[in-house]
Structure formats: structure tokens, C-alpha cells
Amino acid sequence: MASHIVGYPRMGPKRELKFALESFWDKKSSAEDLQKVAADLRSSIWKQMSNAGIKYIPSNTFSYYDQVLDATSMLGAVPPRYGWNGGEIGFDTYFSMARGNASVPAMEMTKWFDTNYHFIVPELGPDVNFSYASHKAVDEYKEAKALGVNTVPVLIGPVSYLLLSKPAKGVEKTFSLLSLLPKILPIYKEVISELKAAGASWIQFDEPTLVLDLDSHKLQAFTAAYDDLESTLSGLNVLIETYFADLTAEAYKTLIGLKGVTAYGLDLVRGAQTLDLVKSNFPKGKYLFAGVVDGRNIWANDLAASFSTLKELEAVVGKENLVVSTSCSLLHTAVDLVNETKLDDEIKSWLAFAAQKVVEVNALAKALAGQKDEAFFSANAAAQASRKSSPRVTNEAVQKAAAALKGSDHRRATNVSARLDAQQKKLNLPILPTTTIGSFPQTLELRRVRREFKANKITEDDYIKAIKEEIKKVVDLQEELDIDVLVHGEPEVSITMQRNDMVEYFGEQLSGFAFTVNGWVQSYGSRCVKPPIIYGDVSRPKPMTVFWSSTAQSMTARPMKGMLTGPVTILNWSFVRNDQPRFETCYQIALAIKDEVEDLEKAGINVIQIDEAALREGLPLRKSEHAFYLKWAVHSFRITNCGVQDTTQIHTHMCYSNFNDIIHSIIDMDADVITIENSRSDEKLLSVFREGVKYGAGIGPGVYDIHSPRIPSTEEIADRINKMLAVLETNILWVNPDCGLKTRKYAEVKPALNNMVAAAKLLRTQLASAK
């Protein structure tokens, strides 16, 4: 019985690639140094899977930044602004597309389906001259072969590539991206031919868009693409891999009808209903790559349950045609549980990271082949039983409080217009008030202080003194820049400088959470996150942020924002328990945050930001499931602040996603002010308001992209604000960056914020003179 891994984490067990990338970007190391680190990681991954007994080992799943950007490079689809003149795409062009450079911005980044990974969105149009411009897939296949490992090269499928793209700037939004299929297939044919010549016997096309709600025209594109590729694919075994959800009956029919295809990879964790389609109609003689080991979470597989499922499938597809696989790439889970030295043995026994999932896949394959490791299966069964019965998982008081939420929608008693009037009387802000999103740059000195405190090298008093001094610097800087609503900069938050630092910060202070030392997962590029593990019922034992927020407020007469992370974001940026519905866990977190909000208000904090950056990330892939998710997600947010006074201004922040299709749910959150990513996505957000959506609360679409090192000019920011004023009322518009500033340097932050404030003042003057 054979085994297969869809894909594997790239960063390395201790983020080796992250550090190599950042050293290269900072010009502290050479391209050759970076390439050597990458080659060592690839070699280690291939040998690990080979030694574990995996038969179908993937190649070309490694990436220096993003696999979709790799496909863009392969196709030579470089936007003209990067000045690429043909030939093999090198690091300069590649990383300019990913990160921008001093003169041009990066390409748009958005979330990869409903995961926490983000990809670089291709910008396409009728005038793109596609060419074979990156031989990475072939080179990596040859590299593995030279090491004695015959791999399955993986390519983003041609149809999914186009469906994940967007029309380039200046191209009509109605342009059919699928019309480019005849232009990109010749490049795919070149790649396939080179792989065949190099000795490849299998090839994997990832076509995850097959799990989306696709109309007949889009489904027909898959048929047309593989019809065209059939002759080129002759002589190869072809695997079409899908993941993240069920296939519809129509999509499944399309999949099994594709010409030249040998095998189908199905996610049987998040796509359990697809089992029924397989049982009712599976093409004779084809392979089923059965994704029964979860690639999205860190819980140990229930081997007995998976074995039972596989035995059912074996009876349908045949013993020789069944391959045990992961549900999706292991990119979305942590690398190796062996590196976890601080998790206690009980919780550790409940978990499996990527390295352990490889072992699980092979153990299931061997069991199906009659070589069951009884000791391994028995230990797994004992761990499953331990988790179900452990008293640390259940808190009756929390469950009772969550159950009592039923019957109320938890809305504030006064409408937002009246609340904004009451808040303005108290806060006395100018029009176009300026603020930032929360974090400020994390200096080496600050990181040293936190590191030494964690290592018990300095006292708690010394630590508090140092953090207070850092807060004072941040407050003084904002006053010097003349920002209207201040933040304390979050200097007390951990040293990783990643987007879910605040989730980890709050999780460490909530019950029901566990934390890893090296449980890193790639978010985008070199950015890694270390998601908390929610293993049990959640509650707040004591206040979490009140001390730091009130300390900061005591340093200024200007409003100081209290900074919290919302329940939906904490949920979506964590590895969540899979033994109860996600919404039940979210309601528990909401009640904990509600306690903190009310304590902040009592401490004199009049502006409280409850970030829901990841609200859209949890949106199910199927439209039929959207309404239920949005109902409980929005309700969870309202629970957090339903008890505050009208004069307390509730902000929320969202980023990393396209929010246009959920704008009405965002309005239903009933926040007083929302700050939202806007600049990197070509101001797509503003199109909602151009189309007539009325928004009555305060809103701050980001005026510049903090993910790029470039500093926008005052004129550029003023131009963005003017575009906003064309569709939004002056009295509700806020001026702020896209996101927090922790990943930037002060040399970038100071001039950028100075220009932002100058632009706001310029527009205030112009608006006043126009009256």
C-alpha cells in the first residue's frame, strides 16, 4: 500500500529559511548563501520522507516566498512596473514582485482559500506575453533525483492559476482571465516535456479551485485544459490534487472526466461528504489519493477511525489503487513535535506536527498492507481516550456562561450615529482624525529586554521600568507627529514581530490554551506565526492589558487606545480544538474579552480597539455556509462590547483579505470605527462605496502599505484620502496606515507617519477653505 504527502513546510524546523531570507534582504549575506540554506532544507525534507517510507514524495513545493508567485515566474507573467526584460527570473525581480522596492509597490497579497497562508495575486491581462521564465520545477526534480529520491513534481494547475488571478491595473474588471488559457498551456507543455525528459514518472497538478462554487463555464475550463494537455502528458502518471472542502457533484463529475489523468487527490477531512461521491461513482482503474491525515491542524490522527474509512474505500477503488495521503499540504501545520521541550507530556500525546503526520500516513499505509504496528496504534488509541476524559479540557462554569448567551443578539442600546455624537463631545477630535493600528517598531534593545526577562536575567521591576520607558518614547513620538488618537505601541508583546503576536499574548493569559516553542507556521514570505493551541474551555483568570493601557493613558492628555484582539481572530489564528463546534469555542473567547473591555472602560480608557483582522479568514469556501458563519462570528464580536457606555468608542481593525463581499456583515458588527486594509489591494474596498453601500460609522481605509519599506509622499497620501472623500462622508473618515508598524524600522515609520499627518492637515485646510 502506497503513501503520499501533498506538500511540506518550507521554513525549516527552526525557521532557517526565514533567517536566511531576511539576511539576504538586509544585504548581510549573498544569493549563494540563501540558495545553500534552501538546498539543505529541501534535501532534509526529501530524505526525511524517503526514510519514513513515503512512496510519492513531492518536489517544487519549496518556495522562497510563495508557490503562486513561483507559477507567475514560471509563466513569465511579470507586471511591467518591475522592469523585467526577459530571461530567467532572478531574485531581484522575484522579490520585487513579492515585497516591492524603493520605487514600485509589491503585488497584492491575499489569503490562500480559508487558511492563514497568503499568496501573491497574479496580475494578468490580454497583453501579457507569457514565456517560460523559471525552470525551478525541473531543477528541483533533478536536484532530488541526484540525491536518490524520485519525486512527484508539483505545479499549480493552469485553471486554478487563472482563477486565483486578477485583471491587471488598467484592464477591464470584466476581462475573462480564463481566456488566457490557450496562452499559458504552451508554457505548461514545455515544463511537462522537460520533466518527462528528466525522468519524472508522476506529476501533480494542484487544482484547489475545484472545491469552490464554480459555474459550468469555469468547470468546462478544466475539461478544455486537460484535453489540450493530454498528448503532452502521455507517458506520465497524472495526479489532480484538490483540498480544503467537499467537491460538488458537478465538480466531481468534471474531475473524474478529465483526460490523461491517472489519480485524484481528495481532502477527506474537510471534504467528508466527498466520500459519498467516491462510493457512488469512482472510475475503474484510477488511483484515489485519500487525504485522511489532517494537514490543517495539529491533533494526532484517530488512526482507528482513519483505518476504518480507508477499508471502506479499499472496497470501492481496489487495494492496489488506494494511496494514503494528507488532506492538503502540511505547509499549514507546525514542523516537528520533537522540538517542543515545554509542552507537558499529556498535551504532547494529543498532537502531531508535520513530521509526525508523515509517520501517521505511512503507518496507515502499512496497516492496509497487512503490516499494522500494533504498539503505535495502541498508543494512539490511548492518547485519543486521554484527551476525551481529561479534566483540564472541560470547565463547567464556562460552558454554562456560553450557553446563557442564547436568546440575545447583544447589540448596544443606542445607534451608532448617536454614539458617535456622544463620543465626539468627549474626545473633541478634528475632522479626518489620525491614528495608527497599534504596534510600533520593535527595536533590538526592546527585544533584548524581553528576552532577558524571560530568561530571568533581569527582575520584573527592571522589566516594567524598561517597558514604561519604551511606551513613553512611543507616546512622545506620536505627540511630536501630532497624531490625534494614540497607541502605546505594544512593547510588552513577544519578540517574534509576527502578525499573531497579540493572539499569543492574550492566549498566554487565558485558560484553555497551550503554547509551543518552535511551532512556527508560514504566513507569507519570511513571516511565520506560532499559533496557540486551544485544547480546552476558555476563560480569563485576571485582567490582561489594563495596567499597560492605563499606564500609557497617564502619559498623555490625548485619547489612548486600549488594544485587544477579537474572539474570531483569536480563534482563526489558533490551532482550535476539534472536539466541539468552532462557534462554541468562539463564544467562550468572546466572554473573556468582554470582561477585559469592561475593565478597560472602568480604568478610564475611552477608545478601545478590538481587532478582527481574521474575521473573513474563517469564511467557509461554500457560499451556502457563509450566513451561518457570519452570524456567529459577528455575534461574537458584539458580545465583547455590548456592555460599554455610549461615550466609549469601540474600534476594530481588519486586514489581509477582500472584504467587499461581507461589507454588510461588517456593518452589522456595529463598531463605532473600523480601520481596514486598503492600499495594497488597489483600493478595492472603495469600490463598495462607489456602488452605493451606505456606511454610517467611522471608517479608516489604510492610506499606505506597511508591508513595503517604501515611504509614501504627502501628495500620494493626500491623493488616496481624496479618493476616499469621493465616496465617504468627511465626518466619518479616519486617516491611518494599513496595519500595525512592528515589522518596519523607525527610519521608515517616522517619515511615513509625518507625511500621513501632513496629508490629513492639508486636506483639513482645503476642506475648510471650500466651505
Residues labelled catalytic: 707
Q: Are 737 and 751 within 8 A, CB to CB?
A: no
Please name the amino acid found at residue 702: G
3-state secondary structure of 153: strand
Binding residues for L-homocysteine: 611
Q: Are 126 and 172 within 8 A, CB to CB?
A: no
Q: Are 77 and 124 within 8 A, CB to CB?
A: yes
In whole angstroms, give the CA distance from residue 188 to residue 199.
17
3-state secondary structure of 701: strand
The CA-CA-CA angle for residues 248, 253, 258, to 5°, reads 125
If residue 654 lies in a helix (H) or strand (E), which one and from where to where? strand 649-654
Encode 664-689: b = buried (16+ Cβ within 10 Å), e = exposed: ebbbbbbbbbbbbbbbbbbbbbbebb
Binding residues for Zn(2+): 653, 655, 664, 668, 677, 739
CA–centroid distance for 670 within its chain: 25
Cell of 416: 451608532
Please name the amino acid found at residue 476: D
Task: Give the closest residue to 531 by CA, choosing from 546, 518, 545.
Answer: 518
**CA distances to 264, 269, 382, 511, 712 from 578, in Å:** 26, 11, 17, 17, 44
DSSP per residue, 463-503: HHHHHHHHHHHHHHHHHHHT-SBB--B-TTS-TT--TTHHH
**Which residue's entry shows cell 477591464?**
172
**Residues pairing with 735 in the sheet:** 434
Binding residues: 18, 116, 437-439, 490, 527-528, 573, 611, 653, 655, 664, 668, 677, 739
DSSP 168: P
3-state secondary structure of 684: helix
Alpha-helical segments (H) within 428-566: 444-454, 460-481, 501-507, 546-553
Binding residues for L-methionine: 437-439, 490, 611
